Amino acid sequence: MSQYPNRFFAREGVDPLRYAFDRKIAVHAGAGGQPLSREEALPTWQTLGNRPDTSSRRAAYINVPFCRKQCLYCGFFMRTLRHGDSSCYTDALLKEMKQVSGLSAVTSHPIHAVYMGGGTPTALDAGDLKRLIEAVRRLFPLADDCEITVEARAADFEEEKVRACVAGGANRFSIGVQSFHTKVRQQVGRTLNRTEVLEMLTTLTDLVDNSAIVIDLMYGLPDQTMTIWEDDLRTLIEETRIDGADLYQLNVFKDSLLSRAVNKGTLPPPADISCQAEMFLKGREMMTAAHFRRLSMSHWGRTSRERNLYNTFIRCGATCIPLGCGAGGRLHGHYFFQKRDLKSYYRDINAGEKPLAAAIILPAYSPLFRNLVGQMEKGKVNLTALGQQHGFDLEVIFSPLLKQWEQTGLIKRQGNGRIELTVAGEFWNVNLAQFLIDYFQHYHQEDVRS
């Protein structure tokens, strides 16, 4: 073990759920890649865009870079919505959609999931939301059962906008609730109180019969005690009719408004990792007892309407056509980043150019890594089958890690190269996935092709 960095190995002799590692990796596991400059990104996109893509999991992502108000914990806020933004931005997005809709990479195969995120898509006006969703359905080869998600903020998703989205063709709504507790949610920038949030969810579920409604709940927020977290979960289970929920831990971004508020002492510090681990466990127990289905480590479905396709595809490295200011997407082994500055975005769109800021050539083993991450998200990995698919003996390659993780209670090995995450392994699954990728890249890339 000593020839490898300690960071790959869990602490021994401690409770693995709370203390396996020093630091919890909060973002998705990934493998980096070789960056391309702005000048290289555009011709690369043009070349790859003209190449058909027949992969079986395909998505499109539409970014709306506006919010009416910034939440303190947010790492995705881009700008406050101003008068005129809604129609101007929608017009530009429609142009961009037309510009890419004829590419072979787009037309060659059905798209199974469209996600409108941000920012806050529901900051846009009702008519603009409808125009956008109708345009996606008209211009892109959507599968008959394509999941079309609109991410919404409870405070600005009024009845008129709900009706506009449904009329446009959206069939899934993801609402950022974060907590039902009035003080906990309002002190991090959410505006509605508990009663208003519940009323909004009731209205929404009454209005959209055949669509999936999912909510996000966060754990570890300032002042969110275990009692409050249990009440958040109980409220979700007993007082709403939603189809699914994402339970995710608070990640305090450096220099975020939240980290500044905590440093200044205007908000108490959020929960530490061991407390978050207990909250994760509580969420797992209560959702299981309420018969929610586990769709990923953090995502739960209550009805068969909820499929969580987009998020599942993205973790598995599916093709994703990026649209909008600040969007990101993946095509033919490359990751593309669109410009985040609205002026440059408008300028490129009006010039008929894809508004790219940069791109990354993904590593050669990226498909293996994405499959690995996808299986880790389900809690079970078949290393033998995965290895055969990609030409490696993964059980041998990863054996030092697997042995130590089994001893420290993070995984169970079940024979035939199958491993299953324990509850502690589930909590640390992003760390484990990232360590497998890093370990493979640093120690076993060249010499183990079977």
Considering beta carbons, is residue 251 or 344 the nearer one to ligand SF4? 251
d(CA 426, CA 294): 12
* Residue 255 C-beta: closest distance to ligand SF4, Å: 15
377: amino acid identity, one letter:
E
Residue at 378: amino acid letter: K
Q: Closer to ligand SF4 by CB, 76 or 439: give it.
A: 76
Q: Six-digit token pair at 86?
A: 């809604």
Residue 434 CB, shortest distance to ligand SF4, in Å, is: 24
| Distance separating the N- and C-terminal Cα atoms of the chain | 23
How near is the Cβ of 215 to ligand SF4 at its closest, in Å?
13
Q: Report the nearest approach of ligand SF4 to the CB of residue 276 (Å).
A: 19
- Count of alpha carbons within 13 angstroms of residue 51, beta-carbon side: 12
Nearer of residues 154 and 213 to ligand SF4, judged by Cβ = 154
Q: How far is the CB of 307 from ligand SF4 (least distance, A)?
A: 23
Adjacent-strand bridge partners of 147: 113
Residue 366 beta carbon to ligand SF4: minimum distance, rounded to whole angstroms: 28
Nearer to ligand SF4, 30 or 121 (CB): 121
Contacting positions for ligand SF4 (CB under 6 A): 67, 70-71, 74, 76-77, 118-120, 153, 176
Nearer to ligand SF4, 81 or 411 (CB): 81
Question: At its nearest, how many Å lie between ligand SF4 and the CB of residue 298?
Answer: 16
Structure tokens at 360: 């990354």
The smaller minimum CB distance to ligand SF4, of residues 299 and 354, is found at 299
Dig out the tokens for 321 from the structure. 């056509």
Name the residue nearer to ligand SF4 (CB basis): 70 or 445: 70
The 3 state secondary structure assigned to 32-87 is CCEEECHHHHHHHHHHHHCCCCCCCCEEEEEEECEECCCCCCCCCCCEECCCCHHH
Amino acid at 171: N
d(CA 107, CA 164): 27
Quote the tokens at residue 371.
Answer: 């499959």
Q: Tokens in use for 92? A: 């530009």
77 versus 335: smaller Cβ distance to ligand SF4 = 77
CB of 140 to ligand SF4, least distance (A): 24
Sequence-ordered list of residues with C-beta below 8 angstroms from that of 392, at least 6 positions apart, any chain: 368, 448, 449, 450
CB of 249 to ligand SF4, least distance (A): 15
Maximal CA-CA distance, the chain: 62
Nearer to ligand SF4, 77 or 428 (CB): 77
Q: Could you give the 3-state DSSP secondary structure of residue 265?
A: coil
- Least Cα distance to 438 among 372, 383, 393, 351 occurs for 372
* Shortest Å distance, C-beta 367 to ligand SF4: 31
Residues in the chain, total? 450
Separation of alpha carbons 193 and 197, rounded Å:
6
CB of 67 to ligand SF4, least distance (A): 3
360: phi then psi, degrees, rounded to nearest 5: -130, 135
* All residues at 6 or more sequence positions from 283 whose CB lies less than 8 Å from its CB, including other chains: 217, 219, 229, 233, 247
Whichever of 178 and 422 has its CB closer to ligand SF4, that residue is 178
- 214: left (phi > 0), else alpha (psi -120 to 50), else beta? beta
Of 190, 130, 132, which is closest to residue 162 (Cα–Cα)?
A: 130
Closest to ligand SF4 by CB, 118 or 329: 118
Nearer to ligand SF4, 26 or 361 (CB): 26
Give min distance, CB of 401 to ligand SF4, in A. Answer: 35
Q: For residue 84, what are its two tokens?
A: 């005129």
Token pair 């990479």: residue: 105
